[in-house]
A and B are shown apart, each in its own frame.
Chain A
Amino acid sequence: MMRFMLPLVAFLVMAIFLFAGLSLNPRQVPSPLIDKPAPEFTMQQLHNPEMILDSKDNLGKVWLLNVWASWCVACRDEHPLLVQVANAGIVPVYGLNYKDERDTAIQWLRQFGDPYTVSVVDPEGRVGIDYGVYGVPETYVIDKQGIIRHKQIGPVTVKSLQEKILPLVKELQRKS
């Protein structure tokens, strides 16, 4: 009996480890910034270059920071969802226009719709580095105290909105 049980058990253990290990997405690198204060920034706005957005102005409200670019193809997939969220007035969405050209970016928003309360420009990706951005699009959920509570790497999907982002936003909004 042992003769067959031992290899069987060894095989099952291996199979479980491989199944768990291989079904992980290596692109989803856990961010060390979760539950840490969102890096502060004061940045030029996309539509009004003479205007500045200070991240401290957003203290006291829950907000989404969406990193996007006109060259980013996956951004087009998630864009209609962001427009819906913004139009429904559930939570303000701020855009971080990452390593992009101002004119192309404005043109892109005109074409696909503009869900952003304000978009700021990060042409050299410096604020992106502070936020640990490596795969556009990325979306951060930031609470009233300015703490990052969630990071979505890659495009927002209906599933991720319904299961994670929106419930989290509601919960954070209830807290003082």
Chain B
Amino acid sequence: MRRLDHFSLMAVLFLVVMMSPQISFAIGKEAPLVAADPIIEARMLRLSEDLRCLVCQNESIAESRADFSNDLRREIREQIKANKTDEEILEFMVERYGDFVLYDPPLKATTFFLWFGPLFLLVIGSIVLMFILKRRRIQVEEVPELSETERKQAEALMSLEEIENIKTDVSLEKTDVDLSVENNTEKEVLSGKDKGNKE
């Protein structure tokens, strides 16, 4: 019996916790989210999604729980009931709160940079990028041609380096095939040299 009481107490507590959001809504003056007429409500929501809540500026009137948004939702509902067109309702809002209330502001002299600023920056960025790439290509092309003797010198140096690299590799392995490997590489180096001469 005692255990059952304990259980029912827990159940009641659980329910209270689960329901607390609803309770707080009831205490805060939350306007009913759904009006009697679902068609009006759908139109109101569509309109208010494009309107900024000026109190909580990164939310739309449709999302916001601020009192301000409640009032404006009520206003929109009433205007829909009064057979106002969407344009008239948006015009009503702009007259009172300015273009800032619209998430999709009209193209005007004052909003010119808002609309074309990013495009402007993109164009400048592309020009700068083209300029840099062009300069880099010139730098690459401008590498001075080697004369025949310089080329031979360079190749000799590089092949020396190769041989030395291989030597160190092989000596690290410490095997008996040292010599054969060295011979092979020397042949390769020689044939490489031949190629270089032919070119």
Contact = CB atoms under 8 A, between A and B. Distances in A.
B96 A33 contact: yes
Chain B: interface secondary structure?
helix
B67 A134 contact: no
A32 B95 contact: yes
B136 to A, nearest CB: 14
B96 A130 contact: yes
B55 A129 contact: no
Interface stretch (A23-31, A85-93, A104-112, A113-121): A23-31
Nearest to A124: B71
B164 interface: no
Interface string A70-100: 0000000000000000000000000000010
Contacts of A132: 96-98
A128 B55 CA distance: 14
Interface residues of A, number: 18
B94 A134 contact: no
A135 interface: yes
A30 B98 contact: yes
Given A99-B67, A125-B71, A129-B75, A134 B95 contact: no
Closest 6 CB pairs of A and B: A134-B54, A132-B96, A32-B98, A125-B71, A29-B100, A132-B97
A134 B97 contact: yes
Given A29-B98, A129-B75, 20 more contacts: A26-B57, A27-B57, A29-B54, A30-B100, A31-B98, A32-B94, A32-B95, A32-B98, A32-B99, A99-B67, A124-B71, A128-B71, A130-B96, A131-B96, A132-B96, A132-B97, A132-B98, A134-B54, A135-B54, A135-B55
Nearest to A134: B54
Contacts of A27: 57
Interface in B94-136: 94-100
Contacts of A29: 54, 97-98, 100
Interface in B52-97: 54-55, 57, 67-68, 71-72, 75, 94-97
Contacts of A134: 54-55, 68, 97
A131 B54 CA distance: 14
A31 to B, nearest CB: 7
Interface in A118-166: 124-126, 128-132, 134-135
